[in-house]
Amino acid sequence: MESILLAIEHSDPLWIALAFACGLIAKSVGLPPLVGFLVAGFALNAVGARGGEFLQITADFGITLLLFTIGLKLNLRSLARPEVWGVAIIHIASMTGLMAGFIFLLAIIGLPLFEGLDITTSILIGFALSFSSTVFAVKILDDLGAGASRHGQVSIGVLIVQDVAAVSFLAASTGKFPSIWALALLALVPLRHLLQKILNHTGHGELLILYGIVLALGGADLFKFFGMKGDLGALVFGMLLAGHWKANEMSKVLMGFKDVFLVGFFLSIGMSDLPGWTEFLAALILLIFVPVKVAMYFGLFTAFKLRARTAFRSSLNLANYSEFGLIVGSIAVSSGWLTSQWLATFAIALSLTFILAAPLADSGDRFYGHFKSRLHRFERSKRVPGDEEIHVGDMDVVVFGMGRVGTAAFDAIVADYPQRVLGIDLDSSKVNVHVANGRNVIMGDGSNPDFWLRTPGLVNDLKWVLLTLPAHQANLAVVEQLHKLGYDGRIAVATRYPDEAAELEELGVEFAFNIHSEAGAGFASDLRRRFEQSHI
């Protein structure tokens, strides 16, 4: 039997192995693994390596799955909020004009690579670099377990508006406008009921995974057939299932596949072209505008009445250039508007912003705590809906994370503490379901310092805090906030792995419950009790 490795280029397994090694090193020093993947791409580029067809296919597949899983979690109402579409449109226009003026000034001065650019080409470059990376932001939010948080939803909403603008530009620049038959895609709206009914019957195993992959790839191909961007099709098909009771489960089972295939994307960024010193210096000059982008995002978010912390975290999520710059660069080079050197410049600038922005986003709350007093000066006195103060009364127990484990814990405890147990979750749709079922649940993010400002006195009388959040980093962040508030009550955390439990116990958590091992022990204990009762 022939090895599967013979189906791909002989060098591809070596690139993947190097990506693993660099990702492991990055993780060991406290950086997200994607930083290591980018470094691996740079290293391979430096020695003249080039990825094969297999690497490109994995990159494309990873992005398709990524957009599909975004759609599964997307709340359409969030896109209609002024702090989303208003910020996105104003930011694109402002950054495009600002960067175009600066680039044209460098062209007049005669700086290498910039020399000879006219105002139209300068606007094109500014437009390409005004966007932020959807792939990067969603990957970071997934790693932090913050996809459903306020700042996560705001960031994703802005990125989707940017994606719509990008699709419109690509259609206009290439002359490939959607077919008139694309209007037939409106039939997908009533078709969602059929797709959701099929989802009801997929079970929890391989059929659920295959159904997700079929819809992601099928949606992408269908939109391409009608002359539209394939990634947009994957996003739309994910949105058709959003709100279904199994959408979250599908997102989780596809997460591993998505993360593996996205390695190909981050590797291909570093290997896209071989930059020289001229391109590298030009990329460094373009990095000057990243702090400007962040400051402009923050100013606009606060102007639209978001709290300082939400505005700050959202801005850090978007503190990078987008892979859209590479697409625009390719079009400009093929059309003769730019030299091929600019494609390498875009690639190096994009990669450097990923490397710089990853640790910033990962440590966002730490930076916010350091600059909190200065950032609060920009807050507006009036709040957008959802940012008002919350008065919950005196509580004895708070459960953070109202998924299956959190809900079971809430129901088990509420009998001992009637009217004094509070559930808290990031997902508004999940909160609405719990409230409809009679549970005392509110929307909030315990890792957010502003949440505790919105709930004055909540921490004072608490006896227990139960943490059942899906991401380990989110649990750690809540524990850190509780320590800062001087909470001296008891903390219990549901974990998945022994090393996570050990880390939490070192921080003073009284009880770290491993849901995998303890579930088996609880099942055996309950079974033993039933056996004993049956012999009476």
Average pLDDT over residues 403-417: 85
Judged by phi (left if over 0) then psi (alpha if -120 to 50, else beta), residue 130 lies in alpha
**Tell me: the pLDDT tens digits for 469-526?**
877 878 888 888 888 788 888 888 888 888 888 888 888 887 777 776 655 555 555 5
222, 331: one domain:
yes
37, 271 Cβ separation under 8 angstroms: no
User: In the chain, pLDDT over 90 holds for what percent of residues?
Assistant: 12
> Would you say residue 320 lies in a domain?
yes
Residue 449 vs residue 205, higher pLDDT: 205
> Would you say residue 384 lies in a domain?
no
Please report, for the domain that includes residue 98, its CATH number. Answer: 1.20.1530.20
357, 426: one domain:
no
Residue 166 vs residue 531, higher pLDDT: 166
**Tell me: the pLDDT tens digits for 385-394?**
666 677 777 8
pLDDT of residue 519: 55
295, 371 Cβ separation under 8 angstroms: no
pLDDT of residue 6: 34
> Would you say residue 392 lies in a domain?
no
> Would you say residue 387 lies in a domain?
no
356, 404: one domain:
no
Cβ neighbourhood burial of 324 (10 Å; 0-12, 13-18, 19+): buried
Q: State the Cα–Cα distance between residues 474 and 293, nearest whole angstrom.
A: 27
406, 514: one domain:
yes
pLDDT of residue 417: 82
136, 236: one domain:
yes
Question: For 163, phi and psi rounded to 5 degrees?
Answer: -65, -40
Q: Is the pLDDT of residue 2 over 60?
A: no
Average pLDDT over residues 369-377: 83
Residue that is last in its domain, among 348, 378, 408: 378
214, 81: one domain:
yes
Q: Is the pLDDT of residue 361 over 90?
A: no
- Tell me what the pLDDT averaged over the chain comes to: 80
**Tell me: the pLDDT tens digits for 230-283?**
777 888 888 888 878 888 788 878 877 777 777 887 777 767 666 678 888 998
pLDDT of residue 4: 35
338, 448: one domain:
no
**Tell me: the pLDDT tens digits for 193-244?**
888 899 888 887 889 989 999 999 888 888 877 777 777 788 888 888 887 8
Q: Which domain holds residue 164?
A: 4-378
**Tell me: the pLDDT tens digits for 41-67?**
878 877 776 666 777 788 788 878 877
**Tell me: the pLDDT tens digits for 146-179?**
666 777 888 888 988 887 787 677 666 655 566 6
pLDDT of residue 298: 95
- Name the DSSP class of 305: T
Please report, for the domain that includes residue 482, its CATH number. Answer: 3.40.50.720
**Tell me: the pLDDT tens digits for 24-44?**
998 787 677 777 887 888 788
- Residue in 533, 498, 525, 531 with CA at minimum distance from that of residue 513: 498
316, 349: one domain:
yes
Residue that is last in its domain, among 326, 343, 378: 378
Q: Is the pLDDT of residue 75 over 90?
A: no
pLDDT of residue 171: 61
> Would you say residue 385 lies in a domain?
no
Residues β-bridged to residue 307: none
360, two tokens? 């910033």
> Would you say residue 167 lies in a domain?
yes
Q: State the Cα–Cα distance between residues 503 and 383, nearest whole angstrom.
A: 37
Considering its fold, how many domains does the chain have in total? Answer: 2
Quickly list DSSP for 89-129: HHHHHHHHHHHHHHHHHHHHHT-TTTTT--HHHHHHHHHHH
Q: Is the pLDDT of residue 464 over 80?
A: yes
Alpha-carbon dihedral 252, 257, 258, 263, rounded to 10 degrees: 140
496, 373: one domain:
no
pLDDT of residue 445: 82
Q: State the Cα–Cα distance between residues 349 and 270, nearest whole angstrom.
A: 10
428, 443 Cβ separation under 8 angstroms: yes
> Would you say residue 359 lies in a domain?
yes
Q: Which residues lie closer than 8 Å to 156 by C-beta, 6 or more apart?
A: 70, 74, 78, 137, 138, 141, 147
35, 122: one domain:
yes
327, 407: one domain:
no
Gap between the terminal Cα atoms of the chain: 60
Q: Of 95-99, 205-209, 336-340, where does the model show the most confidence?
A: 95-99
> Would you say residue 260 lies in a domain?
yes
Question: Which string of b and e fits 374-413 if b means at least 16 CB within 10 Å?
Answer: ebeeebeeeebeebeeeeeeebbbbbbbbeebbbebbeeb
User: Which amino acid is residue 397, in one-letter code?
Assistant: V
pLDDT band at 287 (very low <50, low <70, confident <90, very high): very high
Handedness of CA 28, 32, 37, 39 (dihedral sign): negative
Average pLDDT over residues 335-343: 79
Q: Is the pLDDT of residue 90 over 90?
A: yes
pTM flag (> 0.75): no
354, 465: one domain:
no
74, two tokens? 């997307």
- Residue in 325, 324, 318 with CA at minimum distance from that of residue 290: 318
Q: Is the pLDDT of residue 358 over 60?
A: yes
Average pLDDT over residues 127-134: 88
Q: Is the pLDDT of residue 319 over 80?
A: yes
